[in-house]
Amino acid sequence: MSILISALVTVLVVILILYLINMLPIDGRAKQICRIIVIILGVLSLLRLIVPF
């Protein structure tokens, strides 16, 4: 059950960060790079929860 809660919190944090990146007054290309980095980090975090090393 704690894994499910951790995964949910991770997804919510990623969504919040993506929203905040959207609000930044920066170039479109820089926003896209930031979004990709956040999504990759979020997926890696979820994988670490699912498949413990």
pLDDT in tens, 1-53: 888 999 999 999 999 999 999 999 999 999 999 999 999 999 999 999 888 76
CA-wise closest residue to 31 among 19, 45, 40, 21: 21
- Please give the angle made by the CA atoms of 19, 24 and 27, to the nearest 5 degrees: 115
Question: Residue 6: which domain range?
Answer: 2-50
SS3 9: helix
Count of structural domains, the chain: 1
CA distances from 34 to 6, 8, 25 (A): 23, 21, 13
What pTM value is reported for the model?
A: 0.85
